């Protein structure tokens, strides 16, 4: 087990900066998720850690040792590829023992570790099959077994679940979580699926255009996104943003002609000036929805109603802008109905309209 | 309607081309099993009555045939070794690395096929005499390698493109060096394709007559022996037909076996 440090890592492909000065510290035994939209540089960052990509600048430090100039096989890492990269010309057993054989591990130890890994991944009956005779999910397990049998200090995974169907993905997600609890290997896990990220990660590093825009615990990322990008990328449906004007020196904000009271901590925050513009960010589930007007609630018109089983999703129109609101499934709403939305004051976030950066309220640190 | 017409037209053209190639082969094969008397009779019967092995046996017992066959095999094996040893690394590089001039290199390889070998004949013969390679089987193999190399490179490139880079990378994360990853993962997976390239090279060398004929005198390969017998020594008809048949059969069988690889080479897959 070891810490992993990406120190100002930059990797260019021609003119594209796939990874642009990324610094990220992964703690010993931590499950770190790299999350971001397609093409933001997650895979490239992971490959830099693995040593499969020659970096243009920066260092990789694993377990306190600078491994920047070391071969992939000498970094104490193991990797699970998105395509699994299971060797097609070898049986499952030979796939799993491949790394141990390269390392010249004694036969008896190889046998035991192979059985152990196979048991952990529940592929004991498949050991004599060839990859062509396996399903996608089984192949994925072989790829993971092949990695963990090496007992790596650091386990790297690149979207290992993306090729599985929804049900299997759910099941494998839980298994990966169990696996991490049992092996405690420091893990860097790449995904573009925010649900996966929220459910697996001890911490999540959100990437955009080759840079990390926020790195924090899942709940912090979800509840206190550092920018409109993070708020809009994470959560399904994503965070709503309403244009507003600061009033009373930061004690309230006017949205859709309605005055919303703000908690005290916003008043002194940087970027909050009376008369200034802000974006008010509210998660879909952080509204109180009523059919009558009341203080701190702004009017909206229901446009679409989507029952999702556990909740019902309303698409509403606020001053011509659409917003998404989740409500309890037993509530009665009709298209065209007029409703009032009251954002829960403690769940509301403010962002700077130009940069999209979150306004940091005073005493945020103390609340954590 | 128009589509049916197009299909019919296509089928007709394909049939004509196939007939153009197959008809002579058929005639040669039939003649190879006809008796000598039948071959020289007029009007000549198309079907051998009765079929006989005499003609083939006569050819096989003719002087120099076995030695020439052996020579052909030796040249072909040398050619395979050289073409694969040079072509496979080039194919691997083309499939794996982006480097300046990569496209130019690819085109250059094919462009060598546009150069007429006839133009080279005299200078080549002179150079070979000077270098002591004249009438030497290795010398013939070198020319055959030059002829086969473009195909070897093109085939091996497509073979290695079919082996995902991630497999080698996975091997490297498991402790292999670059070379080990190639030898233990990429090479075994590519082996059937490389075998196809080797066999294709064999056919090319086995059938090549021009260079073999000008560059040898006593150490004839089979095609060189035949062309000499036919063109200058006035070999009898039965010798010609049996020789032709003997040349065609291995090539036909081999091409039939590796046709799947040759097809994928041109982006067509048959199942
Ligand atoms: N080998 C390469 N050559 C050129 N450009 C590349 C190469 N690999 C990646 N890129 C570019 O670098 C950027 C980052 O790619 P990367 O594969 O890291 O994205 P990603 O975040 O993993 O995306 P995805 O979620 O789609 O896998 C992209 O713009 C991509 O086009
Ligand atoms: Mg990727």
Cβ atoms A33, A189 nearer than 8 A:
yes
- For residue A270, what pLDDT is reported? 81
Mutation to test the A interface, candidates B162, B169, B170, B176, most A Cβ within 10 Å: B170
Rg (CA), chain B: 22
- Indicate yes or no: CB of B180 within 8 angstroms of CB of A146: no
Tell me the percentage of chain A whose pLDDT exceeds 70.
98
Determine which of A42-51, A74-83, B49-58 has the lowest per-residue pLDDT on average: B49-58
- Mean pLDDT along residues A62-86: 94
- For residue B46, what pLDDT is reported? 78
Closest A-chain CA to B185: A87
Ligand 1 nearest atom to the CA of residue A37, by list position: 25
Is the CB–ligand 1 distance for residue A152 below 6 Å?
no
- For residue B263, what pLDDT is reported? 66
Say which CATH superfamily domain B62-270 falls into: MetI-like (1.10.3720.10)
Q: How many residues does chain B have?
A: 271
Distance CA B87, CA B83 (A): 5
Is the CB–ligand 1 distance for residue A42 below 6 Å?
yes
Report which of residues B262 and A164 the model is more confident about. Answer: A164
Residue B255 has pLDDT above 90, yes or no: no
Q: What is the pLDDT of residues A158-217, one digit of tens each?
A: 999 988 888 888 888 998 999 999 889 999 999 999 999 999 999 999 999 999 999 999
> What tokens does A210 get?
């080759």
Crossing angle of helices B222-231 and B65-96, in 10° steps, is 130
Instruction: Give the distance between the most distant pair of CA atoms in chain B.
Output: 75
Nearest to A150 by CA among A97, A186, A224: A97
Is the CB–ligand 1 distance for residue A43 below 6 Å?
yes
Ligand 1 nearest atom to the CA of residue A36, by list position: 21
- Indicate yes or no: CB of B169 within 8 angstroms of CB of A73: no
Nearest to B257 by CA among B199, B194, B186, B217: B199
What's CA A172's distance to the chain center, in Å? 17
> Pick from A83, A89, A150: which is nearest to B164 by CB?
A83
Distance CA A208, CA A225 (A): 14
Determine which of A177-191, A232-246, B232-246 has the lowest per-residue pLDDT on average: B232-246
**Residue position matching structure tokens 């409500």:** A327
- Indicate yes or no: CB of B173 within 8 angstroms of CB of A73: yes
B58 band by pLDDT with thresholds 50, 70 and 90: confident
* A79–B contact, CB cutoff 8 A: yes
Residue A137 has pLDDT above 50, yes or no: yes
| In chain B, where the domains are located | 62-270
Distance CA B173, CA A127 (A): 22
Q: What is the pLDDT of residues A106-127, one digit of tens each?
A: 999 999 999 999 988 889 999 9
> Pick from A50, A71, A87: which is nearest to B167 by CB?
A87
What's CA B5's distance to the chain center, in Å? 36
- For residue B8, what pLDDT is reported? 94
Distance CA A359, CA A267 (A): 11
What's CA A292's distance to the chain center, in Å? 38
| Cut 0.80: pTM above it | yes
Residue A363 has pLDDT above 80, yes or no: no
> Pick from A50, A99, A156: which is nearest to B175 by CB?
A99
User: All domains of chain A, ordered by start, with CATH?
Assistant: 4-231 (3.40.50.300), 237-351 (2.40.50.140)
Is the CB–ligand 1 distance for residue A39 below 6 Å?
yes
Distance CA A138, CA A135 (A): 5
Q: Ligand 1 atom 6: the closest Cα is on which residue?
A: A13
Report which of residues A284 and B217 the model is more confident about. Answer: A284
Nearest to A298 by CA among A326, A246, A260, A261: A260
Give CA angle at A7 (A36, A157), nearest 5°. Answer: 45
Q: What is the pLDDT of residues B22-42, one digit of tens each?
A: 999 998 888 888 888 788 877
A5 band by pLDDT with thresholds 50, 70 and 90: very high
Is the CB–ligand 1 distance for residue A35 below 6 Å?
no
Q: Which 153-172 residues of chain B touch chain A by CB within 8 A?
A: 164, 166-167, 169-172
Q: How many residues does chain A have?
A: 368
- Indicate yes or no: CB of A50 within 8 angstroms of CB of B173: yes
Distance CA A167, CA A37 (A): 22
Burial A132-141 (b: 16+ CB within 10 A, else e): eebeebbbbb
Residue A366 has pLDDT above 60, yes or no: no
B123 band by pLDDT with thresholds 50, 70 and 90: confident
């Amino acid at each position: 087990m070891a810490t992993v440090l990406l120190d100002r890592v930059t990797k260019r492909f021609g003119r594209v900066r796939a990874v642009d000065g990324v610094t990220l510290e992964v703690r010993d035994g931590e499950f770190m998720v790299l999350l971001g939209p397609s093409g933001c540089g997650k895979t490239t960052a992971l490959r830099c850690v693995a040593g499969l990509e020659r970096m243009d600048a920066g260092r990789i430090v694993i377990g306190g040792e600078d491994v920047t100039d070391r071969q992939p096989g000498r970094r104490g890492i193991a990797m699970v590829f998105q395509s699994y990269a299971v060797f097609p010309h070898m049986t499952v057993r030979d796939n799993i023992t491949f790394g141990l054989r390269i390392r010249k591990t004694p036969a008896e130890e190889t046998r035991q570790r192979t059985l152990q890994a196979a048991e952990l991944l529940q592929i004991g009956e498949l050991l004599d099959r060839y990859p062509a005779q396996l399903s996608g999910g089984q192949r994925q397990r072989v790829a993971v077994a092949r990695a963990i049998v090496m007992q790596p200090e650091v386990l790297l995974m690149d979207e290992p679940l993306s090729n599985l169907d929804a049900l299997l993905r759910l099941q494998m997600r839980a298994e990966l979580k169990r696996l991490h609890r049992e092996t405690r290997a420091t893990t860097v896990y790449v995904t573009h699926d925010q649900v996966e990220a929220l459910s697996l990660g001890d911490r999540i590093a959100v990437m955009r255009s080759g840079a990390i825009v926020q790195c924090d615990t899942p709940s912090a990322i979800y509840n206190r996104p550092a920018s409109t990008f993070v708020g809009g990328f994470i959560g399904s449906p994503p965070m709503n943003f309403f244009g507003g004007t600061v009033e009373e020196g930061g004690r309230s904000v006017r949205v859709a002609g309605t005055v919303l009271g703000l908690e005290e901590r916003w008043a002194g925050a940087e970027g909050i000036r009376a008369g200034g513009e802000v974006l008010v960010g509210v998660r879909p589930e952080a509204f109180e929805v009523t059919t009558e007007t009341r203080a701190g609630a702004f009017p909206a018109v229901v446009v679409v109603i989507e029952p999702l089983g556990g909740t019902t999703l309303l698409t509403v129109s606020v001053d011509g802008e659409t917003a998404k609101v989740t409500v309890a499934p037993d509530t009665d709403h009709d298209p065209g109905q007029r409703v009032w939305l009251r954002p829960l004051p403690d769940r509301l976030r403010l962002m700077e309209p130009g940069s999209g950066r979150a306004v940091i309220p005073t005493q945020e640190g103390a609340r954590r | 309607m128009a589509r049916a017409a197009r299909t019919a037209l296509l089928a007709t053209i394909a049939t004509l081309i196939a007939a153009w190639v197959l008809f002579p082969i058929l005639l040669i094969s039939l003649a190879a099993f006809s008796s000598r008397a039948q071959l020289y009779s007029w009007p000549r019967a198309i079907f051998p009555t009765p079929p006989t092995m005499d003609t083939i046996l006569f050819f096989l017992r003719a002087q120099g045939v076995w030695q020439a066959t052996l020579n052909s095999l030796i040249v072909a094996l040398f050619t395979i070794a050289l073409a694969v040893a040079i072509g496979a690394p080039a194919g691997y590089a083309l499939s794996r690395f982006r480097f300046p001039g990569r496209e130019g290199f690819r085109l250059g390889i094919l462009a060598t096929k546009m150069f007429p070998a006839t133009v080279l004949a005299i200078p080549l013969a002179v150079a070979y005499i000077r270098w002591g390679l004249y009438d030497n089987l290795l010398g013939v193999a070198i020319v055959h390698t030059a002829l086969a190399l473009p195909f070897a490179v093109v085939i091996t490139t497509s073979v290695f493109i079919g082996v995902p880079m991630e497999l080698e990378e996975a091997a490297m994360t498991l402790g292999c060096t670059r070379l080990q990853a190639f030898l233990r993962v990429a090479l075994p997976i590519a082996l059937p394709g490389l075998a196809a390239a080797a066999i294709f090279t064999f056919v090319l060398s086995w059938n090549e007559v021009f260079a073999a004929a000008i560059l040898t005198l006593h150490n004839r390969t089979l095609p060189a022996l035949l062309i000499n017998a036919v063109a200058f020594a006035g070999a009898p008809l039965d010798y010609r037909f049996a020789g032709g048949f003997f040349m065609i059969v291995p090539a036909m069988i081999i091409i039939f076996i590796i046709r799947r690889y040759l097809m994928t080479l041109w982006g067509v897959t048959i199942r």
